[in-house]
Amino acid sequence: MMLLSIVALPLLGALITPLVSRRSTAILPALIAGAIGITVVSVLLSQAPDVLGGAILIGHYPWLPGIGLSPAFRLDALGLFFALIIAGMGLLITLYAHFYFAGKHGAVRFHSLMLAFMGAMLGIVTSENLLFMLVFWEMTSLVSFVLIGFHQDERPARRGARMTLVITGGGGLALMAGVLLIGNSVGSFQLSDILAPETALTSDPLYPWMLGLVLIGAMTKSAQFPFHLWLPNAMTAPTPVSAYLHSATMVKAGIFLLARLHPALGDTDAWLYSISTAGMATLLTGAFIAMFKHDTKELLAYSTVSHLGLITLLVGLSTRMAMVAALFHLLNHALFKAPLFMMAGAVQKATGTRDMRRINGLWRTLPALTVISAVAAASMAGLPLLGGYLSKKMFFIESMNASVMPPLQWLTPALAAIAGLFSAAYSFRIFHNVFFNGKPQDLPVWPPKNPGVGIQVPAAVLALAVVLVSWHAESVVHGLIGPVASAAAGSALPDYDMHQLHHIGTAFFMSLAAMLGGLLVYMAREPLFRLYDQLPPADAREIFEWLMTRAGGTAERLVHALENGSVQRYIALIILSAIVLAGPVLLSGIQWHGGETMTPVDPLTGLGLVLLMASAVGVVLGHHQRLFALLLLGSAGLFVTLTFARFSAPDLALTQLSVEVMAVIIMMLALSFLPQTTPLESSRLRKGRDLGVATLGGLGVGLVSFAIMTRPHSTIADFFLSQSKPGGGGSNVVNVILVDFRGFDTLGEITVLGIAAVAVFALTRNLQLKDRIPQERDQYWASNPHPLILRTMARPILPIALMVSAYIFLRGHNMPGGGFIAGLITAVALSLQYMAGSLAWAHERMLTPFRPLIGLGLLLACGTGLGSLVFGEAFLSSWFGHYKLPLLGHLELATALLFDLGVFTTVVGATLLILANLGKLMTVHGPGKEIG
């Protein structure tokens, strides 16, 4: 429960905040967020002694264990370290944001999103199940999308948000593929199994794929070159977002992932070279570009990119102590970068701009902030004895320990020193430019106003933390970083030798050179800026937008090429894919004849089947003469009916017969409004192609059918056969299946029927077909619309037909029959009245409109189902009993009969609704009068 609350509390808070503080712009949302932050931090701290001592807390919450999907949380030293940064930093940011938004309207939305983000980040670092980690991972991408686009009405904000989503979302997809590969290989998605020493992922043949895909996920999230683009563009977000997501937390998720999976995937050459190359490229690019940015937040963004590169490089180096250096630098970076972002936000509030060419000499206005920033910037520059200096020196030492590319092993330390030089230069720049360097120049807000004490407090806390960590570096490294690094490495590491940091050796001189070089570069900045401006402009954002437009265009063309409006093409493609998928299996040498002896052909059945085929072929050959083809189609239906009857399916035969009658009537009605002939327009090639597809399809289906029929029959029917009488109370098993065993299916079935009928009703409404029927055709179709004999015969037939229908309905449970069939018979009998009389004549005599009939039937069926709930049984359980009644004799009553009555009513209503509305089109009233 404790582990669950770490993730659940912020997520819950995210939901609650907008509810409780809908109209207030007051302090409430910040209070909620703050309270949750404090709670989470204290829960984490209460576990810290155990966890740092090496304990791994795991909480399982079974959900879908069958497919390995159970939320499980895990708190070990590594997770605790990140969780503390996330929750602690979140707490400070909440405070900062409260003053930043200062009761403005967006505050509620911001705090809610912030809590959602915090919950998702905590989820990433405490997930035991990798699949759940993926969910949280995607959640951070989505929430950061919304947060970057916080000012939705600004175009750069939207573009920046979209770029972030595309890059981190794409990385998320890659990561998902990687995780699936890993889970597939290990056979479990639980970290305990994946990180277990006996797991040998690195020798898996798919290892390069796993590593590559996971790496893409990590690199996109942690803004590694060449995916770093989104981070500077994400600076359109409000500053609290930049300080939290883009310096302290989200961008560290990729590094967390690498550290987390290091025991399973690390310690190979592929790991070393791919990660350290990416890290080094990022470190250099970021540091170089940062120096030349005039916008405070953009400078900080590129500097973040560069520091992330440094940490990634360390994780990649995999030397014995590199993990310690990486994690220590990660801590330092979070501590010094966030106050600098907070400073940028406060300065923007004070001056109205972030342009360092205009902001100068603010030390008079903001003395406290000057001190805070001095500490943070000094740590970032790596000035001696501050945290940044120590971790950077660790980095220099590790870069020399690592023997990357043996003949060129000097390359890594050399590049590291160059990056350090630029890093020092931009650190000097952001501090000196903002607070000193002469006087401010035409600021939008003049004179600069003091943004207040509150907004500076969180930054001050962090600056104090920088000093404390630097002061107690040894205990921090031994007490906190050591256990965390051991957890990341998967085995206990020895204590880091802190004395080498105070040793005056190569690393010391590297630091010194970087510092002095940085100072020189900063002093020479004016000519350097001019030089930089002369470089060819390569706006990555434009390239990205161009790529996006191109991708969109290509997708559109592809869709147009595939989806040209031709139904034939779609159907042909579907059938062809079925043939391509199934064909090879059929041709793979399996025995078509399954070995069962075939029943002998008796002449009558054989003749029926031959006539069936002849009718079907006749439909195809004669389909240009539509009426003729339709008659043959009806004959095919009749032979299908006979086939069912012959092979022991009386229910099917009855159903097919009545359906066939109705279907032919409907098509006949439609045909009177459509062309009577189909023009001969298919080309020879087209016909050949279609014939080929049809032959292959028919051959395939026929072969499969043959293969099935000649194989031994194994079925679950025995259950139905044995339970029909004792369980369902009926001896017609087909009907008992329909109304009892599989009653739920039938309920769905009649619902579909009802919907189709109502759709027909809606489509025929206002359908103007009158002008489609020319006079001379009227003659042909309706010279004698209601023949006398038919009219006379139809009336006495009706009561007889209804009686038959009632009989079929009642006996359905025990003998062939039932609601479907009885409903269709009734519908046929009634539609005969429509044909024999006129539509208006028949309709006047209808007792009820049809649409309510459909509803009634569905209600009856549902009600019967729900009724069983009243008796504590499952939905649609049936009940039956036997009674002896006077006159009627023995009678069996079953609730299934009620259900079947619902089926009956729906079928009658739906069928007549369809038929009457189609017939209506023929009448002089046209669509004017509504029927049904």
Partner 1 sequence: MEALYAIAVGVLTACGIYLVLRGRTFPVIMGLTLLSHGVNLFLFASGRLALAAPAVIGESADPTDPLPQALVLTAIVISFAMTAFVVVLALRAAVELRNDHVDGVDPEEDWRP
Q: Which is nearer to partner 1, 118 or 734 (CB)?
A: 734
* 642 contact partners, CB below 8 Å, separation of at least 6: 608, 653
Q: Smallest distance from the beta carbon of 488 to partner 1, in angstroms?
A: 57
How far apart, in whole angstroms, are the C-alpha atoms of residue 707 and residue 698? 14
Quick one: 364 or 557, whose CB is closer to partner 1? 557
814-841 burial code (b ≥16 CB/10 A, e <16): bbbbbbbbbbbbbbbbbbbbbbbbbbee
The span from the CA of 498 to the CA of 410, in Å, is 24
Q: Could you say which of 99, 720, 850, 904 contacts partner 1 (CB under 8 A)? A: 720
Identified binder of partner 1 from the candidate list 109, 294, 646, 791, rule CB under 8 A: 646
770 binds partner 1 per the rule CB under 8 A: no
Q: At what angle do helices 207-221 and 130-148 cross, to 10 degrees?
A: 30
**How many angstroms separate the CA atoms of 172 and 871, rounded?**
50
Minimum CB separation of residue 59 from partner 1 in Å reads: 45
Q: b/e map of 728-752 (b: 16 or more CB within 10 Å)?
A: bbbebbbbbbbbbbebeebbebbbe
> Three-state SS for 890?
strand
Tokens 């109205």, located at residue: 352
Compute the least distance from the CB of residue 895 to partner 1, in Å. 19
Among 601, 604, 782, 793, binds partner 1 (CB under 8 A): 601
Nearer to partner 1, 664 or 893 (CB): 664
Segment interacting with partner 1, rule: CB under 8 A, options 83-91, 153-161, 186-194, 592-600: 592-600
Q: Minimum distance from CB of 176 to partner 1 (Å)? A: 37
The β-bridge partners of 517 are: none
Please select the residue that binds partner 1; options are 147, 356, 757, 822, rule is CB under 8 A: 757
**One of 249, 296, 312, 732 touching partner 1 (CB under 8 A):** 732
- Give the other-Cβ count within 10 Å of 686's Cβ: 11
Q: CB of 624: closest distance to partner 1 in angstroms?
A: 9
3-state class of 67 per DSSP?
helix
List the one residue from 721, 782, 866, 891 that touches partner 1 (CB under 8 A): 721
> To which residue do tokens 């350097």 refer?
528
Compute the least distance from the CB of residue 764 to partner 1, in Å.
6
Q: In 3D, which of 680, 685, 616, 604 has the Cα closest to residue 646?
A: 604
- Sole binder of partner 1 in the list 524, 717, 793, 866 (CB under 8 A): 717
Q: Which is nearer to partner 1, 395 or 720 (CB)?
A: 720
Instruction: Give phi and psi for 496, each to the nearest 5.
Output: -70, 135
CA 671 from centre of chain: 46
Shortest distance, position 235 Cβ to partner 1, whole Å: 48
Residue with smaller CB distance to partner 1, 199 or 735: 735
- The answer to the question of residue 749 lying near partner 1 (CB under 8 A) is yes
Contact call for residues 211 and 241 (beta carbons, < 8 A): no
883 - beta bridge partners?
Answer: 891
The footprint of partner 1 on residues 341-380 (CB under 8 A) is none
Nearer to partner 1, 354 or 920 (CB): 920
x/- site string to partner 1, residues 677 to 716, per CB under 8 A? -xx-xx-------xx-xxx-xxx-xxxxxx-xxx--x-xx
Q: Which ranges of 318-353 would DSSP assign to H, the alpha helix?
A: 322-351
The DSSP secondary-structure symbol of 413 reads H
**Contacts of partner 1 in 152-171 (CB under 8 A):** none
Question: Which stretch, 69-77, 267-275, 306-314, 768-776, contacts partner 1 (CB under 8 A)?
Answer: 768-776
User: 148 with 169: CB under 8 angstroms?
Assistant: no
Q: Judged by CB under 8 A, how many residues of this single chain contact partner 1? A: 120
Q: To which H or E segment does residue 393 belong? A: helix 387-401
**Residue 235 Cα to chain centre, angstroms:** 27
653-672 positions binding partner 1, by CB under 8 A: 655-656, 659, 662-663, 666-667, 670-672
Collapsing DSSP states into helix, strand and coil, what is residue 601? Answer: coil
Of positions 146, 418, 540, 575, contacts partner 1 by CB under 8 A: 575
Per the CB < 8 A criterion, the answer to whether 817 and 809 are in contact is yes
Tell me the C-alpha to C-alpha distance, in Å, between residue 631 and each of 60, 398, 620, 657, 719. Answer: 66, 88, 12, 15, 42
Among residues 468 and 613, whose Cβ is nearest to partner 1? 613
SS3 914: helix
Please give the residues from 821 up to 850 whose contact with partner 1 meets the rule CB under 8 A: 824
Q: Rounded to the nearest whole angstrom, what is the least distance from the CB of residue 605 to partner 1 in the complex?
A: 7
Q: How far is the CB of 610 from partner 1 (least distance, A)?
A: 8
Residue among 50 and 563 whose Cβ is closer to partner 1: 563
Query: Exposed, middle or buried: residue 927 (CB in 10 Å: 0-12, 13-18, 19+)?
Result: middle
**Span from 201-209, 274-282, 612-620, 850-858 in contact with partner 1 (CB under 8 A):** 612-620
List Cα–Cα distances, 289 to 283, 307, 338, 584, in angstroms: 10, 13, 20, 57
Question: Does residue number 437 form part of the binding site for partner 1 (CB under 8 A)?
Answer: no
Task: For residue 335, give the amino acid letter.
Answer: L
Contact yes or no for 336/380 (Cβ under 8 A): yes
Contact criterion met (CB below 8 Å) for 247 and 338: yes
Q: Which residues pair with 889 in a beta bridge?
A: 885
Candidate list 10, 339, 637, 729; residue touching partner 1; CB under 8 A: 637
Return the range that interacts with partner 1 (CB under 8 A); candidates 125-133, 224-232, 499-507, 811-819. Answer: 811-819
Stretch touching partner 1 by CB under 8 A, among 20-28, 478-486, 623-631, 873-881: 623-631
**Smallest gap from residue 910 Cβ to partner 1 (A):** 7
Q: How many residues does the chain have?
A: 932
Closest CB to partner 1 among residues 104, 725: 725
Q: In the complex with partner 1, which residue's Cβ is closer, 46 or 695?
A: 695
Which region among 34-42, 301-309, 433-441, 767-775 touches partner 1 (by CB under 8 A)? 767-775
Q: Judged by CB under 8 A, does residue 571 bind partner 1?
A: yes
Residue 890: count other Cβ atoms within 10 Å of its Cβ. 8
* Nearest distance, CB of residue 838 and partner 1, angstroms: 21
Report residue 116 as tokens. 């959602």
- Within residues 863-922, the interface with partner 1 by CB under 8 A covers 907, 910, 914, 917-918, 921
Q: Please list the residues that pair with 677 across neighbouring strands.
A: 625
The least distance separating partner 1 from the CB of residue 686, rounded to whole angstroms, comes to 9
Instruction: Please calculate the CA angle 454-41-104 and round it to the nearest 5 degrees.
Output: 35
Candidates 3-11, 78-86, 631-639, 890-898; binding stretch for partner 1 (CB under 8 A): 631-639
The verdict on 633 binding partner 1 (CB under 8 A) reads yes
Residue closer to partner 1 by CB (options 184, 731) is 731
The DSSP code sequence of 119-185 is HHHHHHHHBSBHHHHHHHHHHHHHHHHHHHT-STT-HHHHHHHHHHHHHHHHHHHHHHHHHHHHHHH
Contact stretch for partner 1 (CB under 8 A) within 122-130, 306-314, 383-391, 812-820: 812-820
Nearest distance, CB of residue 850 and partner 1, angstroms: 13
Q: Check residue 599 for interaction with partner 1 (CB under 8 A).
A: yes
Q: How far is the CB of 867 from partner 1 (least distance, A)?
A: 23
By CB under 8 A, tell whether 564 contacts partner 1: yes
Q: Is 884 helix (H, G, I), strand (E, B) or coil?
A: strand
Selected range binding partner 1 among 496-504, 597-605, 865-873, 891-899, rule: CB under 8 A? 597-605
Give the binding range for partner 1 (CB under 8 A) out of 3-11, 339-347, 563-571, 894-902. Answer: 563-571
| Distance of closest approach, residue 836 Cβ to partner 1, in angstroms | 21
Distance of CA 365 to the CA centre of its chain: 50
